[in-house]
Amino acid sequence: MSSKNVETHKAIHQAFNKRDMEGGVRSVAEGLIYQDKARGVTFHGPRGLKEFWQGWLTALSNVQCSDPTYIDAGDAVICQAFGRGVNDGPLGPLPATGKKMDLCFCEVIHFNQKGQIVSGELYYDQMSLLIQLGHAKAS
């Protein structure tokens, strides 16, 4: 049986897939610290998490969190999943390429005793992302 924290993590990904930003941040603490480790950027609070999501949605308007596996680690939940979509908008300073992304990622979400998300870390291979989208060459 899944823990409440696992169910909350799943619900956040489901909200992202439905583009339900408000529903996605319902369980997020005001003091959230969310780190995109590949890019070296940190987002703060519910507004920061929505900003993070919007960056991905701008670059890949049909992106989905697919095939997730969740691991209950007490006050943390670990998720391995795939981000899948077509690059139809700018990815930061990089132009859209129309190419597909199928990127494995690992996300670790930490919860407080109230069940609120207080921090998170996202790990993925940025070079694989750039190669898939045609912004870098495989060596």
Tally of residues, the chain: 139
Inter-CA distances, 122 with 69, 108, 126, 139, Å? 15, 7, 11, 25
Domain ranges of the chain: 4-132
| Cα–Cα distance measured from residue 84 to residue 28, given in angstroms and rounded to the nearest whole number | 24
CATH fold label, 4-132? Nuclear Transport Factor 2; Chain: A, (3.10.450)
C-alpha distance from residue 76 to each of 23, 70, 133 (Å): 20, 10, 32
Residue with tokens 């897939």: 17
Q: Which two structure tokens, joined as six digits, stand for 95?
A: 């132009």
* Burial class for 43, CB neighbours closer than 10 Å (0-12, 13-18, 19+): buried
Alpha carbon distance 115, 47 (integer Å): 19
- Residue 132 CA to residue 121 CA, distance in Å, equals 23
In a structure prediction context, what are the per-residue pLDDT tens digits for the chain, which is 139 residues long? 469 999 999 999 999 999 999 999 999 999 999 999 999 999 999 999 999 999 999 999 999 999 999 999 999 999 999 999 999 999 999 999 999 999 999 999 999 999 999 999 999 999 999 999 999 998 8
Tokens of 104: 């494995």
Signed CA dihedral, 18, 19, 23, 24: sign only: positive
pLDDT at site 1: 41
- pTM: predicted TM-score of the whole model, two decimal places: 0.93
